[in-house]
Structure 1
Amino acid sequence: MSDLKEVCAAVDEQTALDSLERFGDKWDAKYPKISKSWQEHWANLSTYFKYPIEVRTLIYTTNTVEGFNRQLRKVTKSKAVFPTDDSLLKMIYLAMMDITKKWTGRRKDWGTIHSQLEVFFEGRI
């Protein structure tokens, strides 16, 4: 995974392609479909490199979303059956309220990211 992360963390598109080639050289014998899939979909994946590095880190950082989903699964998994759909919705709502209470931190570079997003997505933010 660390070799594939080099592709995402590359400074520009050419460096990313070089990293992808190195990844393929190292891992194609064991996992041939990974680099092949990345190369086939490079036209879509490479749009990622038109954004500044701060915005790119925001794009590939999904830990908050994954953590939120994990906590919701934890709450719903402990109860095998819900008597009604409303009871499930209420439990998810209450869990969501508890989860979001812990969201006190901010990204240290949010001001820069927000400014850049306003430039790239003018009129939509």
Structure 2
Amino acid sequence: MSGFKTRELPSDAFVLYIDAYHCDIKEKNKIRKASVYVVLGIDLQGNKDIFGFYTFFSSENKADWIKVFNDLIDRGLKRIMLIVSDDFPGISKAIETLFPYTDHQLCLVHLQRNVRNQMDKEDSQVFNKELKNIKENSLDYEDGLEKLDDLCSRFKSKYPSFIKHIQSNKERYLCFLKYPENLRKHIYTTNPVESVNSMIEKVRINLGGYFQSVDILEINLLIQRDNLKNGKWKKPIPAFKGASYEILQLFNKKFSVQTQNY
């Protein structure tokens, strides 16, 4: 366990996917609710791996995210092109602080779920249909932003707070449109890491509804990771491997600008 948590990471990554797995864990003879943040990384060659996982019994905040990112940095990770996550409290500020040149994509699938929760059925269907159109048919990032502004203006008077929230994060919701079209479908959602969490959820159910300790939870995470590394993740992901030249060009362009600004 300690070897995994302290192992050296690649210095550069194309994308990190971060998602929270919520579960019950027994600690000091009490069942407590915990959040486990799984960080799934893909390097510049398209290799996938779990870079780290972090268990907290407190609610999300910037200080905890600083700890997470500092751990990744301490183990060698220096430059990340893109981070894909949900809108966790404090995560955007932490990314801006420690990875100021990294793009931050908020999960578009989670936004669609929020739309269904915040709007009535008819309005949510219209909004999400238009959101799908923006995702699939925008010419580029600027075109997508313009279309999202137009869409939000149609619903602003009826859902002022919710629409204000969307507009305040519009650059993060549409960040994936900055990237080549053949990569966009892979980087607008946290689904890649959610699939890992779903495996752990099956283990929890088989164990009777909760984990006996943090160690048992993390050991099971490691088992799932090892199974994936020996199976589906043994070779680079075809979509990313096929676009490795484009990814490298984008990466070098982004971080050559960073170097010039120092």
TM normalised by structure 2 equals 0.37
Superposed structure 1 runs of 4+ greater than 6 Å apart: none
Structure 2 residue 71 is the aligned partner of structure 1 residue 71 = no
Give the equivalent residue in structure 1 for 2:169.
Answer: 41
Which is strand-richer, 1 or 2?
2
Q: d(CA) in 1 for partners of 2:192 and 2:171?
A: 27
Give the equivalent residue in structure 1 for 2:88.
Answer: none
The letter for the 2-side match of 1:7 is I
Return closer, same or farther for 1:85/1:46 CA change in 2, 3 Å cut-off.
closer
Q: What percent identity do the matched residue pairs reach?
A: 22
TM normalised by structure 1 equals 0.66
Q: d(CA) in 2 for partners of 1:43 and 1:91?
A: 36
Q: d(CA) in 2 for partners of 1:64 and 1:46?
A: 18
How well do the aligned residues superpose, as a CA RMSD in angstroms? 3.4
- Deviations along 1:12-38, one digit per CA (max 9) or x if unpaired, are 134313421343255445544444223
Unpaired runs of 5+ in structure 2?
Answer: 1-127, 256-262
Give the equivalent residue in structure 2 for 1:103.
Answer: 232
Q: d(CA) in 2 for partners of 1:15 and 1:26?
A: 17
The letter for the 1-side match of 2:204 is T
- Matched-pair contact (CA < 8 Å) for 1:4–1:20: yes
Corresponding pairs, count: 123
Q: d(CA) in 2 for partners of 1:13 and 1:78?
A: 44
Q: d(CA) in 1 for partners of 2:197 and 2:145?
A: 32
Between 72-81 and 23-32, report the one with greater CA deviation: 23-32
Return closer, same or farther for 1:14/1:94 CA change in 2, 3 Å cut-off.
closer
Secondary structure of the 2:232 match is coil
Q: d(CA) in 2 for partners of 1:65 and 1:115?
A: 24
Deviation at 1:114, TM superposition (A): 1.5
Between 8-17 and 64-73, report the one with greater CA deviation: 8-17
Between 99-108 and 30-39, report the one with greater CA deviation: 99-108
Which is helix-richer, 1 or 2?
1
Structure 2 residue 246 is the aligned partner of structure 1 residue 116 = yes
Q: d(CA) in 2 for partners of 1:67 and 1:88?
A: 16
Q: Whose RCO is larger (CA < 8 A, sep 6+)?
A: 2
